[in-house]
Structure 1
Amino acid sequence: MSRDKTDETIIEILKKDSRQSFVEIGEKLGLSESAVRRRVKNLTGGGIIKKFTIETGDANSTSAIILISVDSSTDTSKVSAKLSKLHGVHTVFEITGQYDIATIIKAPTITDINVCIDELRKVPGVFDTNTVIILRTVT
C-alpha cells in the first residue's frame, strides 16, 4: 500500500494522541470526517497501522533498561519469548552489538525492579546483564 503525505500526517497525529476524533483530525488537515475515516481504514487494512493502544501515566513508577547477553549455544528468540512473559517486562528488543537483547522493565519501586531483574537473570540462556535505571523521559 502506498502512503502519501496526508497519510503520514494522520499517522503522526494518531501516534501523539490516538484519542483524537476523525473530525478533529479532519479539521487540522482540511479533510472531511469520512475522508479521514476512509484513510485510517485503508492504513489499518493495509497493515500500516497494526493496532491502537494506550500508554498509562508512569508518575508513580520506575523504569529500567536491561541489556542482556545470551549464551552462544542458546537461541536468542527463545530467550526473548521467555523474557516477554515475565512480570514487569514492558518491551523486549533483539539487538546487534555487544548485547543480544534489550528489555524495558517497569515497576512501582526500585525494589520491584530488582525483583524483576533477579527473575530475568534466572531465564535459561541469559549469560550477563547490564542495568540502566531511567531517571526521566524527555519527549
Structure 2
Amino acid sequence: MAADRYMLDAIDFKIIELLKKDGRMPFIEIGKEVGLSEGAVRRRVRMLQEKGIIKRFTIEVDKGYGVSAATFLQFEPGAPPKKVVENISKVPGVEAVYELTGRFDALAILSASSISELNDRIDRVRSIEGVKSTETAVILRVVS
C-alpha cells in the first residue's frame, strides 16, 4: 500500500484532523493552526492525496431525518469474504461495510427513512449469497 511508504509527522496528523472536522477549511486557516504557509499546506495535502492517505473529501449528511443501524454479519463457511462484502456494499442504504475479526465477519452501517425501510434493507442484506446470519442494533444517538 502506498500509504505505508510515507511517514506522517505531527503536522500531517494535525492537518488530517482539521480536514476531518471541516473538509472545506481553507488552506490558509489550516496554515495558521499548524504554523505553515498556505502553499506548504497545499503541498502536504496534495502529497497526502497522492500517497492515498487522504482518499477523498466528502460531506456528512445529518441522519436525524431517519434511522440508522449497525448490522453484524456472519458468513457461510467457505464464502469468499471479499465478494460478500462487495455485494453488501451495493445494497441501497448501506453507508459502510467493515470486515472484522472475532465472532462476526463484517459490520454494515445502514440508514433508512423509516423502520419499515430499514427492515427491507436488512432483508436485502440477508438475501445475499454467503450471508449466514445477522444481528442488528438500531443506533439511538451519534456522539461524535
Task: Provide the rounded CA distance (Å) in 2 between the counterparts of 1:41 and 1:127.
Answer: 42
Query: Secondary structure in 1 aligned to 2:63?
Result: coil
Matched, 1:112 2:122: no
Matched, 1:23 2:28: yes
> For structure 1, which segment, 11-20 or 38-47, has the greater mean C-alpha deviation from structure 2 after superposition?
38-47
- What fraction of aligned residue pairs are identical, expressed as a percent? 44
Task: Provide the rounded CA distance (Å) in 1 between the counterparts of 2:52 and 2:78.
Answer: 35
The residue that corresponds to 1:87 in the other structure is: 92
The residue that corresponds to 1:96 in the other structure is: 101
Task: Provide the rounded CA distance (Å) in 2 between the counterparts of 1:73 and 1:7.
Answer: 41
Matched, 1:68 2:73: yes
Task: Provide the rounded CA distance (Å) in 2 between the counterparts of 1:91 and 1:25.
Answer: 28
Q: Deviations over 1:72-119 (max 9, x none)?
A: 031122111110101111111111111111100011111110010111
Report how far residue 29 of structure 1 moved: 2.1
> For structure 1, which segment, 18-27 or 39-48, has the greater mean C-alpha deviation from structure 2 after superposition?
39-48
TM-score w.r.t. the length of structure 2 is 0.91
**Structure 1 unmatched ranges of 5 or more:** none
Matched, 1:47 2:52: yes
TM-score w.r.t. the length of structure 1 is 0.94
Task: Provide the rounded CA distance (Å) in 2 between the counterparts of 1:39 and 1:81.
Answer: 32
Query: Secondary structure in 1 aligned to 2:62?
Result: coil
Task: Provide the rounded CA distance (Å) in 2 between the counterparts of 1:121 and 1:46.
Answer: 36
> For structure 1, which segment, 45-54 or 126-135, has the greater mean C-alpha deviation from structure 2 after superposition?
45-54
Q: Deviations over 1:21-80 (max 9, x none)?
A: 001111222221111111111211222212111111212021001111111031122111
The residue that corresponds to 2:127 in the other structure is: 122
The one-letter code matched in structure 2 to 1:67 is F
Task: Provide the rounded CA distance (Å) in 2 between the counterparts of 1:86 and 1:122.
Answer: 11
Aligned residue-pair number:
139
Report how far residue 2 of structure 1 moved: 2.3
Q: What do you get for the CA RMSD once the two structures are aligned? A: 1.1
Task: Provide the rounded CA distance (Å) in 2 between the counterparts of 1:73 and 1:29.
Answer: 49
**Structure 2 unmatched ranges of 5 or more:** 1-5
Matched, 1:8 2:13: yes
